[in-house]
Structure 1
Amino acid sequence: MKHVFILTLGWLLLSTVVRAGDNGPDGWTTEAPRAEIRPDFSWNESEKSLDSSLTIRADNRKGLMGSWTRTIPVEGKQHYHFTVDRQTEGITLPRRAAIARIIWLNKAGKKTTHAEPSFLSYRPGERPLAEPEFPKVVSTDGQWDRLEGFYLAPPEATQAKIELHFRWGEPHSSVRWRNAKLEACEAPDPRIVRLATIHYRPESGKTPKEKREQFAPLIADAARMKADLIVLPETLTSFKSGGRPADAAEPIPGPSTDYFAKLAKQHDTYIVAGLVERDGHLIYNVAVLIGPDGNIVGNYRKVTLPRGEIEKGITPGEEYPVFETRFGKVGMMVCYDGFFPEVARELSNRGAEVIAWPVWGCNPMLASARACENHIFLVSSTYTDISADWMQSAIYGRDGTTIEHATEWGSVVIAEVDLNKPALWQSLGDFQAQIEAHRPAVDPVP
């Protein structure tokens, strides 16, 4: 019999607000790291359960910190679904100041460990501690945000400590929490995705038509390998054409996107192609995502331009779009973007789980860094030969390691990944879930 624990507040016949000392309703208690930065705690009990809430509020001082907490029994090796609603007032960055955490504890009330030493550890064979879970914001309904997460309790876990936090608040700001639930559930379905990169130089031909048609057999190869996403290289219609980028520039939609749209629909897959876009008098270096229905899902204009492109009159993009696909959220960047952390970070901030990267050449350490610092999967397609010990056509994992990479021209490599399986790190746990709560509050001063 699976247990369901619902951490909602009780209610009275009439709504009332009660100031809290150390204890609150239904086993909730209050905590603060230091007494001098303790905020005000109160709770609202109502005959309408949706109106019942736990509140943490600052007085006229900044930087106060505290949390509502409750510890409940759980079963090791059981999956759990956590949800809670959050409403903030006067908080500039709720992602940092109003967070929820779940901490797995053993029967002694201490942090428990994972079952296997299969995570990155300080010592070989070490079973790392199960670090706190950080539920993410998944939706907003009016003034309320919904935070949610699915978790597997470590084998020796017997308790889960739920923490609803208020951190570093501005004067007179507050957060309200309601309907915190931790429910036993079935294991979430995996989200298996097959990511493919094509390693090819379209050296023959001069026209965009001649260039793009060389990729058809390689796309067919990737489709036979059941690829869900196929990434092609940068500016493929102008590669070694003898002309300038403007000579290969096309509107989007245009002849090249129409061509790849037919292939995407034929093979029931997503294709990312590096092209040159013409929009009126402006030229952009772009990556285009085309869907299995034959429609353009989205277009990304390269934001960071090297001096050679600037000298050829290319215009930088200004946006960091992320697109929904049938397997997850996809962002794109192009070549020189990889030399700067801001582009991949902006994409991951917007929810990208996979970043497709048409790239002429780059330092492979930066590819690993972009994947690792954002805990995303990165798929690169390059013109660099493997013998150069430089950029690779590869699939990079969330920890920055190379899962698969191409070694021969005219080849397709593919990696199968699970977007629902977090990468856990020693001393951090699921780092990707913590990025929003921990990344800097403001961009650095230019």
Structure 2
Amino acid sequence: MNLATLESAQPWAPCAEAAPRTIRLAGGRLETAGNGTRFCCGGWRLTYAGAEPGSAIRVAVDVSTEGLDIPRDQLFCWIHWADLAAGAPMASGGTLWDSLRIESIDQEKVRFSRIVEVPRGVRRFALDCVFRYSAAGRAVWSPPVFEPSAGLRSGKRQVTACVATGRPAERGYIGTVADNVEYYSKICEAACLAIHPDVILLPENCLQYGLKERRAADAIVAPGPETEAFAALARRRSVRIVLGTKERDGDAVRNSALLIAPNGTIDGRYRKVQLAIGEMVSGILPGDRFPVFETEIGRIGCNICKDISYPEPARAVGLQGAEFLMLPIAGDHRASRWTAGSPTFDDERWKIIMRVRAMDNQLCLVVARNAGAGSCIVDRSGAILAYQDGGSDYISAVVDREAPFRMWNGGCFRDDAYTLRRPIAFEPLCDPLRYCPDPAPARMESAACAK
């Protein structure tokens, strides 16, 4: 299979003053080196023909480096899905492009790689090997390797997601965990009969929701009799269920999201990292990581309630390639009043928060709010695919895992969120003892004064 044929390899730079030193080496290798100025930027443009539109290709380029402090930052490799002139900085008119992802092989070698899909109508493309941000040092680029690939993702392309909350305001007395097991499992059963979802998300601590007392004894052991009702449903309806509950972990109690597979096993669990202020002094033990799980519908990660108040938890999930972020949540202080007093629910603020988190991290955000109203399914573009106004037991939407969201300039939104980041400058985010300095004491206002 002829994936792509090299037609030419020419030096490239945005302007003559920026051009790095370029040398052709034996074996098709190409060298770029600093030109003595920090304005240095450019390298090699390789043009190819013979690509098959719609085919999936794995591209890999190995690079040996010398004298570069941060190859991850100082080297860049991207594909323009167009026939570019040798001196053009990039395609215009919204022509599509994809950047390759870099990984370290050893101290002096990195690899750029990516599975890409050749756009419709494209048979010629250009691959740029760029040297930048350094006055000195050198990089030697090996000939790119193109291999056929099965595709960008495995499993179903169209995933039906469901959020099952019920209508809590219409419920009667809730005395036990068993009451909640019966209530939520019946709603899940009804949803399965009506819409045949691939995944159902339940709210935060739903098995303890509405109980009059907060007792450690109400935390469940999982797997156990309380989860078996949902496991049996998962097996019977071939559906994945994400269950929010207080969970026993030895001598500790956790606020957990349990991933119940279609075969009824618990094949993943997330434990809430950012506890709310009340939980911090309740004896609940926080988690310490954000795992991402490979499932039959794609990669799933979780946040729970207060986690979403900070940018890092959702970003930690996205950085591991998650396609879905499951969010069981009671509420968000940013979508409430901004003065002391009884909480409110600001529908517009809520939608902004959820849409921004989905867009910033380029994943589908599935939200189950305990009160029902505000539960939603938001795709990577920030579009709200389904929204719960409080008048139904569940909502659902079909999510396209391969929706080709592109920026106005032809780039991929996922690239912009992750591949183009410069984490070398994010050192303050890695300091566990760094807090935002308070420029002045916050003005105190009592609840009485706020009325």
Q: TM-score normalised by the shorter chain: which range applies?
A: 0.7 to 0.9
Q: In structure 2, what is the Cα distance between the partners aligned to 1:360 and 1:235?
A: 9
Q: Residues 284 and 107 from structure 1, CA distance in 2 versus in 1: closer, same or farther, beyond 3 angstroms? A: closer
SS at match of 1:213: helix
Q: In structure 2, what is the Cα distance between the partners aligned to 1:366 and 1:66?
A: 39
SS at match of 2:248: strand
Q: Residues 437 and 245 from structure 1, CA distance in 2 versus in 1: closer, same or farther, beyond 3 angstroms? A: farther
The partner residue of 1:275 within 216, 241, 245 is: 245
Q: Which residue of 1 aligns with 2:280?
A: 310
Q: 2:418 is matched by which residue type in structure 1?
A: E
Alpha carbons 2:77, 2:112 under 8 Å: kept: no
Q: In structure 2, what is the Cα distance between the partners aligned to 1:180 and 1:304?
A: 44
CA offsets per residue over residues 126-164 of structure 1, 9 Å max, x none?
A: xx6124212446998997746223334365x56411112
Q: Which residue of 2 aligns with 1:133?
A: 98
SS at match of 2:313: helix
Q: 2:359 is matched by which residue type in structure 1?
A: C
* 1:142-153 pair list within 5 angstroms: 145=111, 147-153=113-119
The partner residue of 1:369 within 343, 347, 356 is: 356
Q: In structure 2, what is the Cα distance between the partners aligned to 1:307 and 1:323?
A: 28
Does 2:163 align with 1:197? yes
Deviation, 1:191, is 1.5
Q: 259-268 or 34-43: which moved more?
A: 34-43
CA offsets per residue over residues 160-181 of structure 1, 9 Å max, x none?
A: 1111234436964746444333
Alpha carbons 1:231, 1:381 under 8 Å: kept: yes
Q: 423-432 or 162-171: which moved more?
A: 162-171
Alpha carbons 1:107, 1:159 under 8 Å: kept: no
Does 2:130 align with 1:165? yes
Deviation, 1:265, is 1.8
Q: Residues 154 and 177 from structure 1, CA distance in 2 versus in 1: closer, same or farther, beyond 3 angstroms? A: same
SS at match of 1:427: coil
* 1:69-88 pair list within 5 angstroms: 69-73=45-49, 79=55, 81-87=57-63
Q: In structure 2, what is the Cα distance between the partners aligned to 1:272 and 1:298?
A: 9
Q: In structure 2, what is the Cα distance between the partners aligned to 1:347 and 1:135?
A: 20
Q: In structure 2, what is the Cα distance between the partners aligned to 1:317 and 1:184?
A: 37
Q: Residues 100 and 245 from structure 1, CA distance in 2 versus in 1: closer, same or farther, beyond 3 angstroms? A: farther
Q: Residues 414 and 54 from structure 1, CA distance in 2 versus in 1: closer, same or farther, beyond 3 angstroms? A: farther
* 1:127-276 pair list within 5 angstroms: 129-136=94-101, 145=111, 147-153=113-119, 155=121, 159-168=124-133, 172=137, 174=139, 176-181=141-146, 191-200=157-166, 203=171, 204-224=173-193, 225-244=195-214, 246-276=216-246
Deviation, 1:307, is 0.9
Alpha carbons 2:19, 2:43 under 8 Å: kept: no
Q: Which residue of 2 aligns with 1:17?
A: none
Deviation, 1:397, is 0.9
Alpha carbons 1:269, 1:292 under 8 Å: kept: yes
Q: Residues 39 and 243 from structure 1, CA distance in 2 versus in 1: closer, same or farther, beyond 3 angstroms? A: farther
Q: In structure 1, what is the Cα distance between the partners aligned to 2:235 and 2:102?
A: 34
SS at match of 1:200: coil
Deviation, 1:312, is 1.5
CA offsets per residue over residues 294-343 of structure 1, 9 Å max, x none?
A: 21121111111221111222222110100000121110111111111111
Normalization by structure 2: what TM-score?
0.76
Q: Which residue of 2 aligns with 1:394?
A: 376
Deviation, 1:413, is 1.8
Q: 1:208 is matched by which residue type in structure 2?
A: V
Deviation, 1:29, is 2.0
Q: Residues 149 and 93 from structure 1, CA distance in 2 versus in 1: closer, same or farther, beyond 3 angstroms? A: farther
SS at match of 1:289: strand
Q: Residues 187 and 198 from structure 1, CA distance in 2 versus in 1: closer, same or farther, beyond 3 angstroms? A: closer
Alpha carbons 1:260, 1:271 under 8 Å: kept: yes
Q: CA RMSD for the aligned pairs? A: 3.7
Alpha carbons 1:166, 1:175 under 8 Å: kept: no
Q: Which residue of 2 aligns with 1:104?
A: 81
Aligned length: 402
Alpha carbons 1:302, 1:334 under 8 Å: kept: yes
Alpha carbons 1:59, 1:172 under 8 Å: kept: no
Alpha carbons 2:185, 2:229 under 8 Å: kept: no
The partner residue of 1:31 within 4, 9, 12 is: 12
CA offsets per residue over residues 204-246 of structure 1, 9 Å max, x none?
A: 4322222122122222233232211110000011111012152
Q: Which residue of 1 aligns with 2:426?
A: 443
SS at match of 2:262: coil
Alpha carbons 2:31, 2:138 under 8 Å: kept: no
The partner residue of 2:44 within 44, 53, 68 is: 68
Q: In structure 2, what is the Cα distance between the partners aligned to 1:186 and 1:252?
A: 36
SS at match of 2:289: coil
Q: Identity of paired residues, percent?
A: 26
* 1:319-358 pair list within 5 angstroms: 319-358=289-328
Q: Which residue of 1 aligns with 2:262?
A: 292
Deviation, 1:427, is 3.0
* 1:381-420 pair list within 5 angstroms: 381-386=368-373, 392-420=374-402
CA offsets per residue over residues 332-373 of structure 1, 9 Å max, x none?
A: 111111111111111000110111111112323111111011
SS at match of 2:422: coil
SS at match of 2:255: strand
Q: 200-209 or 362-371: which moved more?
A: 200-209
Q: Residues 106 and 294 from structure 1, CA distance in 2 versus in 1: closer, same or farther, beyond 3 angstroms? A: same
Alpha carbons 1:371, 1:397 under 8 Å: kept: yes
Q: 1:5 is matched by which residue type in structure 2?
A: A
Q: In structure 1, what is the Cα distance between the partners aligned to 2:133 and 2:328?
A: 41
Deviation, 1:419, is 1.1
Q: 2:257 is matched by which residue type in structure 1?
A: A
